[in-house]
Every structure is written in structure tokens, then in C-alpha cells.
Amino acid sequence: MRGSYWAGIVALLLMPNSSLQIAHAQGGHSEIVCWGENENGCSAHEYTYHAPCGFLGYGGANPRAMINYLCGSGPAGVLKGFATSISAPQPGGQCGYAWFRVVCNN
């Protein structure tokens, strides 16, 4: 447990502008997430946030994890947002590519 805690902290510190991205998504804002190995592979669709393979401990796209990361959760783990698919996932890289919009509730 302790190792995964520190791994998460290190991952957050290594992400460029992570605090700005989180603040942008909260409060009724949205992010278009591209989840895939290389950011170069995201160019097939518009996106505002790149999540690489392995992000948050998931090998492939996980909209619920991104909602929790960008928007947070309330009592009993109820997520403070929702996700909608932008397009069908595409093969490529180590985990494929997926695009979805995360919208945070106020």
C-alpha cells in the first residue's frame, strides 16, 4: 500500500501542469481525454488531456478513473462527473487509443 501511494505522488509530480489540468476540469468544466501510449497517436481527434498507458494504474482507457481523478468523488465514492465517448477506440501502441469527454459537476 505504501509503495503505491508514493508511486501515485511521484506520477502526479512528474505530470506537466497537473494542478492546472485538475483545476480546469472541476466546477462544471470538461476535458477531452485521449488515452493511449503516445500523444502523437492522439491526433486523430481533438483532445485536451493525454493519459498514457498505465496512467492511474490502468493499462487501457478507464473513464471512471479519469472522472475520479479530474472531478473527484463525494460521499460513498459517488463520482462528481460523467464521461461520454467521443469515438470508437482504435488499435495502436500498447493499449490502443480511446477518446472520451469528462464533464465535472459543480
* 79-96 pLDDT, tens digit each: 999 999 999 999 999 999
Angle ∠(106,61,64) on CA atoms, nearest 5:
30
On the question of pLDDT at 18 being above 90, the answer is no
The pLDDT value recorded for residue 28 is 79
On the question of pLDDT at 10 being above 80, the answer is no
Q: Is 90 helix (H, G, I), strand (E, B) or coil?
A: strand
pLDDT digits (tens, 9 = 90+) for 31-80: 999 999 999 999 999 999 999 999 999 999 999 999 999 999 999 999 99
Which residue is it, cell 471512471? 64
* Sign (positive or negative) of CA dihedral 91, 93, 96, 99: negative
The pLDDT value recorded for residue 27 is 60
CA–CA distance, 71 with 84 (Å, rounded to integer): 14
On the question of pLDDT at 13 being above 60, the answer is no
Q: What cell was used for 4?
A: 503505491
Residue 84: domain span: 2-104
Q: What cell was used for 69?
A: 481523478
CA–CA distance, 63 with 53 (Å, rounded to integer): 13
Mean pLDDT computed over every residue of the chain: 81
Number of domain units in the chain:
1
The set of residues, in sequence order, having a beta carbon less than 8 Å from that of 105 and lying 6+ positions away, is: 28, 71, 80, 81, 82
The pLDDT value recorded for residue 40 is 94
